[in-house]
Structure 1
Amino acid sequence: MLGHKEAMCKYQGFTSVPMNLPPDIKKLDLSYNRLARLDSDGFYRYKYLEDLIIDHNGIRMLHSKAFHGLSLLRHLSLSKNNLDVSKSYHREVFESLQNLSVLDISKNMKTLNYSPYKIPVRGLSNLRELNVDLVSNATFGQQFKKLHNLHILKFDYCHVKYLYNTTFSEMPVNIKEFHMTTCKNFVVIEGGVLVPFQHLKLLNLTNSNIHLTQALNILHPFQKKSMDSVILTPEMMKYISTICIKTLDFSDNDIILVKNKSFVQFKHPECFENVLLSANRFSLDNWAVYFFKFLYTMNNIKIIDFSYFPLRFKNPIFLDVVTKDNYTSVEKVQGKWRRKVIPITVTVPSQILFLRITHLMAKNAFREIKTINSSLRHLEISYFETDIFPLLTFEGFNSLEHLDLSGISSVLTIGERKISVLIHLKTIILKETHLFNVLQTNTTILSFCPNIMTLDISYNYIWKIKANSFGQLLNLKQLNLSHNLFETVPDVVTTFYSIVELDLSYNQLTTIGKNILEWIDSQHKKHGIFKLYLNNNPLICSCDTTKFLRWILTTKVKLDNNSNYSCWVSSRKGINYTRNVAEDFHHYFVDCDTTVWIKLGISLLVSVLSSVLCIALLYNFRWRIMFFFFRNFRRFAEKGLELTFDFDVYVSYSDDCVSL
């Protein structure tokens, strides 16, 4: 059986198909070369090819036998060439490709003129996906009608200005996915343009300039039918409300108003699995109440994105024109004409897996977010500009693994509010939470999540952390302390025995102490890996930091910035890189070596002088020293013999010496 061989021949400057490759290759990539045309039998040698990519060449013409012999080919890509949909394709060019499943001939058309499609696709009976340009006033031939297995139709390079009811009338009826994205011109669409696609499951009109009303009017053929995804530019519910929809993406569409509960009048809420509404401009107010009530009817909902809704600034100052005693003046009034707002209590349906409610600017938007015996895995409640932060309540069993509370004052989230213990929580993000306020107290802030593996407390202006601030995080592997004010690495990090990744970038570190370096090396030895990020710290290269500089050069720990950081070289009064300094110590640290030798010389001189002085004293006072030791030895001996003498010396002489 043949193995899987690939030939990646990009950027080789080929002007023709290379003939010196192994004949049994299954994938060939000739992108970014200089092929101007594909001649006869150019690929006949490579009869086992299944995947052929010839993107980014200058191909203008395809010979009738350009792909002769490629009966096993499944994927053919000719994107970003100069192939004209009406002139470049010989009528027999695809005859050998009976097994072709994916054909990409998009991003070729450079002209906006009227062009009938003369692409000979009739024989591509197994084609499932076609990616082609959509030219202005496009007309498709009957050959497209024969593509009975075509399910995905993509128009990514779109020059069209008008779409008529007859534009796609020659397309096969089995199309399930229709993509018409990034249309550069404003597109006028007739209401029946999608009628030929009766089995459509996914409609993608992302980044296309289509009027809101027209975009939703074209959905009328799918009333009371099922559709997996609708990705549109705008909003209006006349036809869409009757369709069974799996994924609804209304993000970033400048929707400013939802009238008469129109959004919550879908006839098949049980079909929804994913609803994305972020980055619009409609008010939350009472509409949000209706939405979250309607949410409970979505029995199969899995993902909700309800973010980036700027209602207005919290405390606006209004101007009021006041006339009193025929005198007119302008007064500033705070909060005048403020509408009554209903604080919302959101009970998250138990089947939801992903919920994001972030970047809200509203007045009392949410009172409480509650889960009861929930399957929720991912929860983002971040960057609220509201008067109160919602109470987070977890009742019964919870499965939460990811919690993001960024942008919320830590005094509200941790100091005043008590969060239930989340034993399954693996990741918690507390960016921009003013955490320094809490870390000055004796509060243990993470007692509610004892099993976390990833902790992000970046952007918090922290300069020190008390030993008991985090508690025992025995499973912590990744700690992000970046964008803070640390001048030294906090000792508390050495209590996290499982940590393998530490981000200290964008702080005020000038060096790292010996104890921390030894701990980092021990963590690397214990776990086999350790990642340390130190970029954008005001590191200093000096005599006092030579140990740290040598460590950077020799450590096996994985460092960011290619293990090379800018530092202030004190001896040169300028900026250099740690690698340059560490590799040439004698050049940069000559003063440090001089100091060492001076200290050594002084030490030797003092030692010699001391020795000479001691020897001179011993020589000059040798008899006194000897007599001192003799006298003390004798007294010690007398004491041992229990003898007492009146005199120190006894002199004996003979009688004949008396006269003398």
Structure 2
Amino acid sequence: MERIILYSVLSIIIICNEFVYASDCNIKYVFKENEEVKIADCKNKGLTFIPQDLPGDINVLDMSFNLLRMIWNSSFVNYKYLQELYLSHNQLCYLSNKSFEGLQKLAILDMSENLLNLSKVYSAELFHPITNLTKLDIRSNMPQPIDFVTDYIYSDHAFSILTELSFLRIDMMPLPHFGSGFGKMTIIKQLHFDSCYLVRLSNRTFQRFSSSVEQLTLRNCRLHFVVTEDNALLPFPKLRVIDFFGTFMHLKHALQLLHPYCNKNITTINFGHVSDVSIDRADIPYVLTITVDIMKNLKTICVENLDLSENGIVDYEPGSLFSFNHPKCLRHISFKRNRFMLFSDKNLNEIQIFFSKTVKLKSIDYSYNAVNYVMKNSVTSNSDLNCSLHSCVILPKSLEKIYLSYTIANTFPIIYLIVPKNNSLIYVDVSYSNSNIAILILQIRVETFISNGGDYSFAWNQLKRSSYNTLKTIVWKNADKMMQ
């Protein structure tokens, strides 16, 4: 009897505390798409239960960064106008079958960064009240697995009812098996696997998903070397964004996955750091020379944003890395943290031809590279500089940003990068670089110039010719030489 009384008292205290905490929630109004939205901001209040005394007409409830462990039946029935519910960064490990009862208008549900086991928590009835859901985020719930050899069965019977879903962010297990229920998400556009333990990307991995997917994220799968099969992306003919950054499968294998998209338009291909020294093998060496064969798929694709950073690239064959069939498509390209010479005597003409065709190129990132090269020949080009005496490359007029920070690039003789008149260049970063590659800006339009840890003379010689009408930001810190 005493235990029962004590338990009752403790329960009353907890419930009373919840009402106290609830009163701490901030109720605010914002305009979203010309409509007034009522928000209950209950973030980081130490709450262990869903408060029941909030206004019944709230549209958004943010319960993230609290201490929730369970969601009981009918926890949200008082809030039938909820459109967005945020439960991330709690300690959720249990959801009752009717946790979301009464939330017929719910469109966005975020339960990321919790302890919700994919194989145990999601019952067939769980999502029945919220079939209008368009965005579901349940990433970062699964702990690092120990067993890498057994197929992991996803609860497709729970997810099959979410036919209006257009966005899904979920954990990726080592050997995933997605059942036929996932194919009923026929209008899904974005599929993201941010918490990733994948060890094999096979031709069957995505075969159950709808062909409607346009964005695929498979980031930081580095628990184990990811074995790939060339047709793994074949179920997604409409892909426009492919983001595999930090997934260790080797650049050569990643580029082989692109064959379904030959001669198609892709907005973004992010294969940054898909090679790593930890997976260095004789057949897939980390120190990599890009060949014509490695580029055979990528070169045919009309790609706007391309990231090949941090992949151990030390060289490239003529007719490979800069031989795109559709160079006019390129907007942004990143080669940072590699070790190849961007401009050398064997490819200077090829680079110049490439730049002359990239009429929409906005940015080049060649930061964190370190090379030394002795030129055997020079290249002539039409410019204000006498290129009969120097090796010159004219950069495209469309270029807006150049990143050359932390770069060691010493050539003999000096290479001149010429930014022509009527250019679009507004941002230059040459911080902590040791290079004798000269940049000649024929008409200054730069708004931001960053030259930390370098030689002041380069920046000063460039900018003293300017009227300073365009400059908004100049950053010169820890430099080696004072202005003359």
For the aligned residue pairs, the C-alpha RMSD in angstroms reads: 2.5
What amino acid is the match of 1:175? V
Match among 201, 207, 229 for residue 268 of structure 2:
229
Question: Quick check: 2:441–2:462 contact (8 Å CA) kept in 1?
Answer: no
**In the TM superposition, what are the counterparts of 1:255-270 in structure 2 within 5 Å?**
255-270=313-328
Residue among 174, 185, 188 paired with 1:136: 174
Corresponding residue of 1:32: 65
Cα distance in 2 for residues equivalent to 1:86 and 1:415: 64
Instruction: Give yes or no for the alignment of 1:303 onto 2:363.
Output: yes
1:172: how far off? 0.8
TM alignment of 1:75-224, pairs within 5 A: 75-110=108-143, 111-113=145-147, 114-119=151-156, 120-183=158-221, 184-224=223-263
Cα distance in 2 for partners of 1:424, 1:437 equals 21
Cα distance in 1 between the residues matched to 2:64 and 2:137: 13
SS at match of 1:221: helix
Determine the structure 2 residue equivalent to 1:635: none
1: CA distance, partners of 2:242 / 2:198: 17
Shift of 1:261: 3.0
Alignment of 1:586-601 (within 5 A): none
Q: 2:446 aligns with which of 397, 400, 404?
A: 400
Q: CA deviation at 1:64?
A: 2.1
Residues 485-504 of structure 1 show CA distances to partners (whole Å, capped at 9, x for unaligned) of xxxxxxxxxxxxxxxxxxxx
**Displacement, 1:252?**
1.6
What amino acid is aligned across from residue 303 of structure 1 in structure 2?
S
Equivalent position of 1:366 in the other structure: 415
Separation in structure 1 between the aligned mates of residue 229 and residue 94 of structure 2, nearest angstrom: 35
Aligned-partner SS, 1:257:
strand
In structure 2, the CA distance between the partners of 1:375 and 1:37, relative to structure 1 (3 Å rule), is same
Cα distance in 2 between the residues matched to 1:45 and 1:208: 43
SS of equivalent residue, structure 2 residue 314: coil
The residue that corresponds to 2:392 in the other structure is 345
1:240 maps to 2:301: no
Q: 1:409 is matched with which residue?
A: 455
The answer to whether the 8 A contact 2:355-2:394 is kept is no
Structure 2: distance between partners of 1:416 and 1:192: 50
Distance 1:263 1:385, change over 3 A: same
- Alpha-carbon distance between aligned partners in 2 of 1:65 and 1:411, rounded to the nearest angstrom: 69
Which of 40, 56, 63 matches 1:7?
Answer: 40
Q: CA 1:275–1:416 in structure 2 vs 1: closer, same or farther (change >3 Å)?
A: closer
CA contact (8 A) 2:411 2:437 kept: no
Find the counterpart in structure 1 of residue 24 from structure 2.
none
Q: Within 2, Cα distance between the matches of 1:357 and 1:341?
A: 24
| Matched residue, 1:429 | 475
| More divergent stretch after superposition (53-62 vs 125-134) | 53-62
2: CA distance between counterparts of 1:413 and 1:301? 24
Q: 1 CA distance for matches of 2:375 and 2:400?
A: 34
Greater per-residue helix proportion: 1
Return the offset for 1:273.
0.8
Quote the offset at 1:167 in angstroms: 1.0
The answer to whether structure 1 residue 355 and structure 2 residue 402 are counterparts is: yes
Deviations 1:534-573 (A, max 9, x none): xxxxxxxxxxxxxxxxxxxxxxxxxxxxxxxxxxxxxxxx
- Looking at structure 2, the residues matched to 375 and 412 of structure 1 have their Cα atoms a distance apart, in angstroms, of 20
Distance 2:246 2:224 in 1: 11
Cα pair 1:112 1:159 within 8 Å, conserved: no
| 2:285 counterpart residue number | none
Aligned partners of 1:345 and 1:370 also within 8 Å: no
Q: Counterparts in 2 of 1:310-389, with a 5 A limit?
A: 310-312=370-372, 340=376, 342=378, 344-358=391-405, 359-364=407-412, 365-386=414-435, 388=436
Distance 1:344 1:308 in 2: 23
8 Å Cα contact 1:85-1:115 kept in structure 2: no
- 1:579-610 per-position Cα deviation (integer Å, ceiling 9, x unaligned): xxxxxxxxxxxxxxxxxxxxxxxxxxxxxxxx
Structure 1 residues 215 and 21: CA distance shift in structure 2, 3 A? same
For residues 454-511 of structure 1, the C-alpha deviation after alignment (integer angstroms, 9 at most, x for no partner) is xxxxxxxxxxxxxxxxxxxxxxxxxxxxxxxxxxxxxxxxxxxxxxxxxxxxxxxxxx
Using the size of structure 1 for normalisation, the TM-score is 0.58
Change in Cα spacing, 1:91 to 1:411, as seen in structure 2 (3 Å) is closer
Gaps of 5+ in 1: 315-337, 439-660
Q: How far apart, CA to CA, are the structure 2 residues paired with 1:417 and 1:67? A: 61
Matched, 1:286 2:345: yes
The structure-2 alpha-carbon separation of the partners of 1:245 and 1:15, relative to structure 1 and needing over 3 Å to count, comes to same
Letter in 2 for 1:347: I
Distance 1:416-1:301 versus aligned 2 partners, 3 A rule: closer
Q: Deviations over 1:505-529 (max 9, x none)?
A: xxxxxxxxxxxxxxxxxxxxxxxxx
Query: Does the Cα contact within 8 Å between 2:318 and 2:347 map onto a contact in 1?
Result: no
Shift of 1:267: 0.8
Q: For 2:465, which of 408, 419, 425 is the aligned residue?
A: 419
Q: Deviations over 1:333-380 (max 9, x none)?
A: xxxxx6636454232222222222332332245224232111222233
Which range moved further: 34-43 or 245-254?
34-43
Label 1:341 to 1:8 Cα distance change in 2 as closer, same or farther (>3 A): farther
In structure 2, list runs of 5 or more residues that go unmatched. Answer: 1-28, 30-34, 276-289, 379-389
- Conservation of the 8 A alpha-carbon contact between 1:102 and 1:127: yes
Is the CA contact 2:359–2:397 (under 8 Å) kept in the aligned structure 1? no
Q: Equivalents in 2 of 1:3, 1:418: separation in Å?
A: 52
Residues 395 and 417, structure 2, Cα contact 8 Å, conserved in 1: no
Q: Deviations over 1:173-223 (max 9, x none)?
A: 011110011112211011111000100011111111112221111111111
Q: CA contact under 8 A between 1:112 and 1:136: conserved in structure 2? A: no
Deviation at 1:428, TM superposition (A): 2.4
Note the C-alpha offset of 1:94: 1.1
Which residue identity is paired with 2:403?
A: R
Q: CA deviation at 1:256?
A: 1.1
CA distance in 2, matches of 1:193, 1:46: 43
Figure out how many residues of one structure are paired with residues of the other and give that number.
411
Letter in 2 for 1:286: D
C-alpha distance in structure 2 between counterparts of 1:415 and 1:165, whole Å? 56
- The structure showing larger relative contact order (alpha-carbon pairs under 8 Å, at least 6 residues apart) is 2
The residue number in structure 2 matching 1:657 is none
Question: 222-231 or 300-309, which moves further after superposition?
Answer: 300-309
Residues in 1 aligned to 2:257 and 2:298: alpha-carbon distance in whole angstroms: 9
Cα distance, 1:291 vs. partner? 2.5
Q: Which residue of 1 aligns with 2:26?
A: none
